[in-house]
Amino acid sequence: MTPSSHGAAARLDLGVALNDAGWHPAAWRAESARPAELFTGRYWADLARTADDAGFELLTIEDAFGLQTRSPFGAVDPADTDQVRGRLDAVLLANWLAPVTKRIGLIPTVNTTHTEPFHVSTAIATLDYASRGRAGVRPVASAKPHEAAHVGRRTFPEFDVANYAGPEAQALISEWFGEAADAIEVARRLWDSWQDDAIIRDRATGRFIDRDRLHYIDFEGAHFSVKGPSIVPRPPQGQPVVALLAHQRIPYELAARQGDVVFITPHDDAQLASITAEVRDAETRVERVGEPLRVWADLVVLIEETTDAAQTALAHLDGLAGDPFASDALIVSDTAEGVAERLLAWHAAGAEGIRLRPARLPLDLDRIAQGVVPLLDAAGVRSPRADDPAATLRARLGLPAAVNRYEIEEVA
């Protein structure tokens, strides 16, 4: 089955994943790093403008419901003073970036386990207003015991990463992702809960809104219920873009049920093809209707003038960190030409988009913008740069306008 199942398959979309001082744990010690500015808006505005000016379709902002840890499921150790600790709230940061950027899609990470779906839905709708149709969201489930302790109402068992394929771990994963699916469903229903023409300002009857075009969502799930309607009128895109990072069957199925975009982490061409096939299978299993998922590949990049220099720079950072950098995604330390070749190869193998994770910020983002993007432009795989600045994120991703579910009901 061809993964390029939407009409704009000839085009390669680009995104950047913004995280701390970069994705390498020692990135903050790079000469060009600005670690003292991680908690200022200006640092993030500079990064976002670079990606915006380079014509990226979207940026994502990493976040979590607690402090960073040395390993993904590890506990917080306050003695870990040699790595970046602390983060701004990604949803607020994305809203802060909205008026200072022009065209790029803004996709903050949100937690679906401890947050209120109602607040998430309205905050992303507001982001869509503030950015004039450029909002997305990347939901993440959390089962970390230390994050649950911040709320104090639930406890989670320590997750056994070594046996994640076992039935116990899979049952837990199913539960967390089921809750995430509900949280996304609530956000989506709330975005539709006002029809586009709900505000009528009818002087004759004195009515500001037509209450028949507002809808209670009446969501009842295993973990929570939400009445609705939203307090925010339907956002400019109707449905902001939902993007999910996924590594295995249950998350692929969540993405297939609820996502517009899935970020996957292949390590070579063959894996890109096999994971894409798994994603398509998941779509069939959950009986996805409408647009197929946009499948994007994630890639960590470190760029220098020569391949040797790039390998040396990576080894230097590894030395500073004390351990070789390990990532769920493929790490490419190479020249701009080498990175561009990899992107073109993956595009040819079916990736509709690529989300680049710069090993060092702002350095590797600058090099992507100045070195890699022009090569992709020259290869003719990018959208023309003269994109309509008023285009929504959905439009830039080739997604059709979102039809309100309640309008479909009216017709039916």
Partner 1 sequence: MTATDPITGKPIKQVHLAAHFPGVNSTTVWSDPASGSQIDFDSFEHFAATAERGKFDYLFLAEGLRLREHRGHIHDLDVVGRPNTLAILAALAAITQHIGLVGTLSSTFNEPYELARQLQTLDLLSGGRAGWNVVTSSDAFTGANFRRGGFLEYADRYVRSGEFIATARELWDSWADGAVVADKAAGRFLADDALGLVDHHGPQFDVTGYGTLPRSPQGHPVIVQAGDSSDGRDFAARDAEVIFSRHSEFEDGRAFYEDVKSRVEANGRNRDDLKILPAVTFVLGDTAEEAAERSRHITLQQVSPQTAIAFLEQVWGRDLSAYDPDGPLPDVEPELAAASVTRGRVRHDRDVAATAQKWRELAEAENLSIRELVIRVSGRHSFVGTPQHVAEEINRYVQGDASDGFVIVGHLSPTGLDEFTDTVIPELQERGVFRTEYPEGGTLRELLGVRPPVAQHPALVTSSS
State which of residues 9, 88, 250, 286 lies at the interface with partner 1 (CB under 8 A). Answer: 88
Q: Annotate each residue in 236-275 with x if it binds partner 1 (CB under 8 A) or - if it does not, as one string.
A: ----------------------------------------
20-59 binders of partner 1 (CB under 8 A): 28-31, 33, 35-36, 38-41, 45
Stretch that binds partner 1, among 146-154, 165-173, 244-252, 301-309 (CB under 8 A): 146-154
Q: How far apart are CA 14 and CA 344, in angstroms?
A: 12
Given the complex with partner 1, which of 58 and 127 has the nearer CB atom? 127
Q: Per rule CB under 8 A, is residue 391 in the interface with partner 1?
A: no
Nearer to partner 1 among residue 127 and residue 332 (C-beta): 127
Residue 66 in the binding site for partner 1 (CB under 8 A): yes
Are 108 and 61 in contact, with CB atoms under 8 Å apart? yes
The residues facing 375 across adjacent strands are none
Question: What gap in Å lies between CA 399 and CA 133, rounded to an integer?
Answer: 13
Residues 168-197 that bind partner 1 (CB under 8 A): 194
For residue 240, cis peptide bond before it (omega within 30 degrees of 0): no
DSSP 368: I
**Does the annotation list 63 as a binding residue?**
yes
Please answer whether residues 303 and 336 qualify as being in contact, where contact means their C-beta atoms are separated by less than 8 angstroms.
Answer: yes
Judged by CB, which is closer to partner 1: 3, or 66? Answer: 66
Q: Does 290 bind partner 1 (CB under 8 A)?
A: no
Using the rule CB under 8 A, which residue among 46, 82, 341, 387 binds partner 1?
82
Closest contact distance (angstroms) between CB of 166 and partner 1 is 28
Q: How many residues bind partner 1 (CB under 8 A)?
A: 81
Q: Per CB under 8 A, does 155 bind partner 1? A: no
- Write out the E strands in 132-232: 136-140, 199-202, 207-209, 219-220, 225-226
Distance of alpha carbon 276 from the chain centroid = 18
User: Could you give the CA distance from residue 302 to residue 312 in angstroms, rounded to a whole number?
Assistant: 11
Stretch that binds partner 1, among 142-150, 326-334, 364-372, 392-400 (CB under 8 A): 142-150
Tell whether the torsion through CA atoms of 229, 231, 237 and 240 is positive or negative. Answer: negative
Tell me the C-alpha distance between 10 and 298, whole Å: 19
Of 146, 249, 267, 405, which one interacts with partner 1 (CB under 8 A)?
146
Residue closer to partner 1 (CB basis): 198 or 372 = 198
Cα 75 versus chain centre, distance:
24
Q: Report 314-373 residues binding partner 1 (CB under 8 A).
A: 320
**Closest C-alpha to 63, from 30, 85, 88, 39:** 88
Site string for partner 1, 119-138 (x = CB under 8 A): x--xx-xxx-xx-x------
CB of 84 vs partner 1, minimal distance in Å: 5
102 near partner 1, rule: CB under 8 A:
no
Q: Per CB under 8 A, does 203 bind partner 1?
A: yes
Q: Which of residues 207-226 bind partner 1 (CB under 8 A)?
A: 207-211, 214, 223-226
Q: Does 295 bind partner 1 (CB under 8 A)?
A: no
Residue 344: name the closest of 11, 6, 5 by CA.
11
Q: Is 109 annotated as a binding residue?
A: yes
The 8-class DSSP code of residue 18 comes to E
Q: Does 99 bind partner 1 (CB under 8 A)?
A: yes
> Per-residue x/- mask for partner 1, residues 2 to 21, rule CB under 8 A?
--------------------
State the helix-helix crossing angle for 90-97 and 117-130, rounded to 10 degrees: 20
Stretch that binds partner 1, among 109-117, 237-245, 276-284, 359-367 (CB under 8 A): 109-117
Other Cβ atoms less than 10 A from the Cβ of 189: the count is: 22
Determine the Cα–Cα distance for residues 312 and 304; give it in Å rounded to an integer. Answer: 9
List the beta bridge partners of residue 264: 297
Is there a contact between 80 and 70 (Cβ–Cβ < 8 Å)?
yes
Pairwise CA distance, residues 360 & 182, whole Å: 35
Residue 358 CB, nearest approach to partner 1 (Å): 18
Binding residues for FMN: 63, 109
Binding site members = 63, 109
